[in-house]
């Protein structure tokens, strides 16, 4: 309850403030306003009052003494009083001799004395709408002194018939009569004799029950508009069927009407019905001599435009068929409309346009076909319309761009176009908004239209580009809207970067809402006349100097992600919008802050719309509130920080590159290393080899592996294979004595060699002699206390496969083996390492027992 009281208090205070601000009851500068002042009588007003407003009060009666003499008063409003009835007495306005406009409308019930309007000889506009006035308002002498009257507003009353008083003969200035929303039902009983000879700019009979006129009456109906001409005759919402419209047109035959309105109407069968008649060749034949120029048949139920339906309307210039149910246009439907300039067929049910659809419209300039269901257009539908300049096909289902050889403005927004192909177009204004265009390369085709000046392409699907033509150098394009597409997907792949390269006259370019995170540096290079550029609502975080053309004056960057833009980018501008960006408020923003405080460029939005988003302590703080005095010290340290950054970045980078190069070319590096060391060693005298061994090494391997051993080891190590090799090797095929037992050959080879090299392969493990030789070689470890065994594993043998054999398992427990390299460039290094192993003497220390014996003691 307390909350309700508080809300009422707040509402009351706000209403009081509004009332005070509105000042409803005052007189000032010749204007007296008394709205909602609870007046029950006309208040005293200054004599110099020109306009007096007494609407929304409680004035019940006006008499001859209600108004003082107000010779300057031109406008008086006394409508919508909150009492019923309102009575206007005899000579009520006689003290207002120069009144021009009198508004007594909206009083609900108005009682007028016959002489209430006496003395208003200068009155030009009289408003008496919604006052429950009856037939007498026209049939009696209420208008006797209104010699200057031009407009009378009588809508929303209870007038049932049109029998104006003979005094209307004298109202020669009368041009507008509004009888909308009355109860006039019998058109044929109308007597407008006193209106004869007049020309009405507007005669409004909208929303009267004229449908009640019986068919029998129509057959004998004289022309009620005889000798009357109309600028605009409004007969909308009268309930006339197609037949009764035909009766009406026949009855007023010959009456001159410039504009005839039947909107809305109930003519036509509608969609899915056949029991009601659509207009045919006789429906409007009675208007043939009316010189009709404008015909409004909108908001009805016409389903089919029959042949010759408008044949009698040869003078017609504008035909409005908006919002019917038109699905069919028969051949010769527009026959006779040779002078028609404007045709409105929007918001209907058309699905196709044929070659014959617009036959006869030789003079048509503008055709409106928007909001239909048009999907297919014949190639020659518009070819004969040589004067057609504007075609509106928006909001249809068109998939292929038709040919328009003569139009200057073609509107195809909200369709399903996926390609523009190479159609004949001469348009200066082309609307392709909200279509399905995905290939930005289509623009190269559109730029071939030599006279094209304005092109609208927003809300398409541009996301890739296949260039199919070159832009002509003399393009006339001055306005292009590419907003709300996906150009980021095109330019991030470096596609169609010359799309604006030959548009020297383009002045306005919209690229908003395109997900742009960066702009190619040369993207605007050809736009030498560009003045306005819209880049709003993108993802731009950085702008490079020199990106925009020198001609640019107006730039919209609102709603992006700019952190610290450089002011040099904005030097040519006169208007800039950088509101709602992600400004990082540190010392890097100093140059922009200085520029914002000193520039003469007009900045869009308020200062609170340019704010910080980082660091957290400054979130939401306007840029105008920031100071930058502490940034000078940071600038002095900037060089040092940059140097440290370079050092800490370059040294690890160089090291990493060196490691990568060595890893990739380690074989070549090793060859260089050996070449250099060899030259250094060759310059020194060699020491004679005084070893007691016959061979440097014995190679133990499986006979199945001999080819590999020969190619991989013997040719690179054994001196008999190559003079420059330094080792004398022993191997079975050459050095074993024929006829000697094999075990003796193996034992002699092992004991006469400095080292024994076992080439362990899968075949080696299967060969018993090889395993026995491995065991012999290992026995020297214990006998001579020398480690002479070198084990080389070749192939993908696992530890488990090796340890299955006891001699090898024992060896692995005390020593390491070599594995043949998989990468060919590591072979030289391996052979060098093997050579070192052959030359290296490894003596073994005899192990002593670690157990201490306790001395023997005598037991006493």
- Whether 77 maps to a domain, the answer reads yes
CB contact at 8 A, 410 and 391: yes
> pTM surpassing 0.85?
no
List Cα–Cα distances, 627 to 579, 590, 637, 694, in angstroms: 19, 9, 19, 91
Q: From CA 284, how far away is CA 245, in angstroms rounded?
A: 8
Pairing relationship of beta strands 294-296 and 229-234 according to DSSP bridges: unpaired
Q: From CA 508, how far away is CA 496, in angstroms rounded?
A: 20
CATH number of the domain encompassing residue 827: 3.40.50.10140
- Which of 822, 828, 837 has the alpha carbon at shortest distance from 672? 828
- Whether 89 maps to a domain, the answer reads yes
Give the end-to-end CA distance of the chain in Å, rounded to a whole number: 115
List Cα–Cα distances, 209 to 187, 440, 569, 715, in angstroms: 9, 58, 69, 121
Pairing relationship of beta strands 25-28 and 31-34 according to DSSP bridges: antiparallel
- Whether 790 maps to a domain, the answer reads yes
The pLDDT assigned to 24 comes to 72
Q: From CA 776, how far away is CA 660, in angstroms rounded?
A: 44
List Cα–Cα distances, 559 to 66, 260, 549, 564, in angstroms: 63, 51, 22, 14
Q: From CA 95, how far away is CA 42, in angstroms rounded?
A: 13
Residue ranges of the chain with per-residue pLDDT less than 70? 1-23, 216, 422-423, 469-474, 632-640, 643, 662-691, 784, 843-860
> What is the DSSP track for 268-303?
S--TT--SSPPP-TTTTGGGTTTT--EEE--SS---
The pLDDT assigned to 15 comes to 40
Place of tokens 């800039």: 576
Domain membership of residue 65 as a residue range: 21-183
List Cα–Cα distances, 182 to 81, 131, 160, 836, in angstroms: 21, 11, 7, 123
Of 146, 168, 183, the last residue of a domain is: 183
The pLDDT assigned to 527 comes to 94
- Whether 27 maps to a domain, the answer reads yes
- Whether 396 maps to a domain, the answer reads no
The pLDDT assigned to 265 comes to 97
**Where does residue 434 rank: exposed (0-12), middle (13-18), buried (19+ CB within 10 A)?**
buried
The pLDDT assigned to 431 comes to 97
CATH number of the domain encompassing residue 84: 3.80.10.10
- Whether 147 maps to a domain, the answer reads yes
- Whether 273 maps to a domain, the answer reads no
- Whether 102 maps to a domain, the answer reads yes
Indicate the DSSP class of residue 688. Answer: P
Of 151, 183, 215, the last residue of a domain is: 183
- Which of 267, 240, 237, 264 has the alpha carbon at shortest distance from 252? 240
3-state helix, strand, coil in the chain (%, to 5): 25, 15, 60
CB contact at 8 A, 296 and 263: yes
How many structural domains comprise the chain?
2
Of 130, 163, 183, the last residue of a domain is: 183
CB contact at 8 A, 714 and 699: yes
Q: Collapsing DSSP states into helix, strand and coil, what is residue 630?
A: coil
């Amino acid at each position: 309850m307390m909350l309700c009281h508080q809300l009422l208090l707040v509402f009351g205070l706000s209403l009081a403030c509004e009332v005070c601000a509105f000042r409803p009851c005052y007189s000032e500068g010749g204007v007296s306003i008394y709205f909602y002042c609870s007046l029950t009588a006309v208040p005293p007003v200054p004599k110099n009052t020109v306009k007096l407003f007494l609407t929304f009060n409680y004035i019940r009666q006006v008499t001859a003494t209600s108004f003082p003499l107000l010779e300057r008063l031109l406008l008086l409003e006394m409508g919508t009083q909150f009492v019923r009835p309102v009575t206007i007495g005899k000579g009520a306005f006689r003290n207002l001799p120069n009144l021009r406009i009198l508004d007594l409308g909206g009083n609900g019930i108005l009682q007028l004395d016959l002489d209430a309007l006496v003395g208003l000889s200068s009155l030009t506009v009289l408003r008496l709408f919604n006052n429950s006035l009856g037939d007498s308002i026209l049939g009696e002498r209420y208008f006797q002194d209104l010699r200057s009257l031009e407009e009378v507003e009588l809508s929303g009353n209870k007038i049932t018939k049109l029998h104006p008083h003979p005094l209307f003969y004298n109202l020669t200035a009368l041009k507008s009569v509004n009888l909308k929303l009355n109860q006039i039902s019998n058109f044929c009983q109308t007597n407008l004799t006193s209106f004869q000879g007049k020309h009405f700019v507007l005669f409004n009979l909208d929303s009267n029950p004229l449908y009640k006129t019986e068919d029998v009456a129509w057959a004998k109906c004289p022309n009620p508009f005889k000798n009357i001409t109309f600028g605009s005759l409004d007969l909308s919402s009268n309930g006339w069927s197609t037949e009764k419209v035909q009766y009406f047109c026949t009855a007023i035959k010959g009456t001159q009407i410039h504009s005839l309105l039947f909107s809305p109407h109930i003519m036509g069968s509608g969609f899915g019905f056949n029991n009601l008649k659509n207009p045919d060749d006789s429906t409007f034949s009675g208007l043939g001599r009316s010189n009709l120029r404008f015909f409004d048949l909108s908001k009805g139920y016409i389903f089919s435009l029959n042949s010759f339906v408008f044949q009698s309307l040869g003078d017609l210039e504008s035909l409005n068929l908006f919002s019917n149910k038109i699905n069919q246009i028969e051949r010769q439907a527009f026959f006779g409309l040779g002078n028609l300039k404007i045709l409105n067929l929007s918001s209907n049910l058309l699905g196709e346009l044929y070659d014959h659809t617009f036959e006869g419209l030789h003079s048509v300039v503008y055709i409106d076909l928007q909001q239909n269901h048009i999907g297919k257009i014949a190639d020659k539908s518009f070819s004969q319309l040589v004067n057609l300049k504007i075609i509106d096909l928006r909001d249809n289902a068109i998939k292929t761009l038709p040919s328009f050889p003569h139009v200057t403005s073609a509107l195809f927004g909200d369709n399903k176009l996926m390609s523009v192909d190479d159609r004949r177009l001469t348009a200066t204004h082309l609307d392709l908004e909200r279509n399905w265009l995905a290939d930005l390369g289509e623009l190269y085709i559109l730029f071939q239209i030599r006279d094209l000046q304005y092109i609208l392409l927003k809300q398409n699907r541009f996301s890739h580009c296949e260039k199919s033509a070159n832009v002509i150098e003399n393009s006339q394009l001055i306005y292009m809207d590419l907003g709300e597409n996906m150009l980021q997907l095109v330019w991030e792949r470096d596609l169609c970067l010359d799309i604006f390269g030959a548009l020297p006259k383009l002045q306005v370019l919209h690229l908003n809402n395109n997900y742009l995170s960066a702009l190619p540096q040369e993207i605007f290079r050809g736009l030498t006349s560009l003045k306005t550029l819209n880049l709003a609502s993108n993802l731009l975080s950085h702008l490079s100097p020199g990106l925009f053309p020198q001609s640019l004056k107006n730039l919209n960057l609102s709603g992006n992600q700019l952190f610290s833009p450089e002011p040099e980018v904005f030097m040519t501008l006169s208007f800039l919008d950088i509101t709602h960006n992600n400004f990082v408020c540190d010392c890097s923003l100093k140059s922009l802050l200085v520029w914002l405080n000193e520039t003469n460029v007009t900045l869009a939005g308020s200062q609170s719309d340019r704010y910080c988003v980082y660091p957290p302590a400054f979130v939401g703080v306007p840029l105008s509130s920031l100071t930058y005095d502490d940034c000078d010290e940071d600038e002095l340290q900037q060089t040092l920080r940059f140097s440290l950054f370079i050092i800490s970045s370059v040294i690890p980078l160089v090291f990493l590159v060196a490691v990568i190069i060595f890893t990739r070319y380690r074989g070549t590096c090793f060859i260089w290393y050996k070449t250099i060391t060899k030259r250094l060693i060759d310059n020194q005298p060699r020491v004679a080899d005084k070893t007691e061994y016959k061979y440097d090494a014995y190679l133990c391997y499986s006979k199945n592996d001999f080819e590999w051993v020969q190619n991989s080891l013997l040719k690179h190590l054994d001196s008999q294979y190559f003079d420059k090799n330094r080792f004398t090797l022993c191997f079975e095929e050459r050095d074993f004595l024929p006829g000697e037992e094999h075990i003796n050959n193996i034992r002699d080879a092992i004991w006469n060699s400095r080292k024994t090299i076992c080439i362990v392969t899968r075949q080696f493990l299967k060969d018993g002699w090889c395993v026995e030789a491995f065991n012999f070689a290992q026995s020297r470890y214990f006998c001579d206390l020398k480690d002479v065994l070198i084990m080389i594993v070749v192939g993908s043998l696992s530890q488990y496969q090796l340890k299955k054999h006891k001699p090898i398992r024992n060896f692995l427990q005390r020593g390491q083996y070599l594995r043949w390299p998989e990468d060919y460039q590591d072979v030289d290094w391996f052979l060098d390492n093997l050579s070192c192993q052959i030359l290296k003497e490894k003596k073994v220390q005899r192990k002593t027992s670690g157990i201490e014996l306790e001395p023997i003691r005598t037991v006493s």
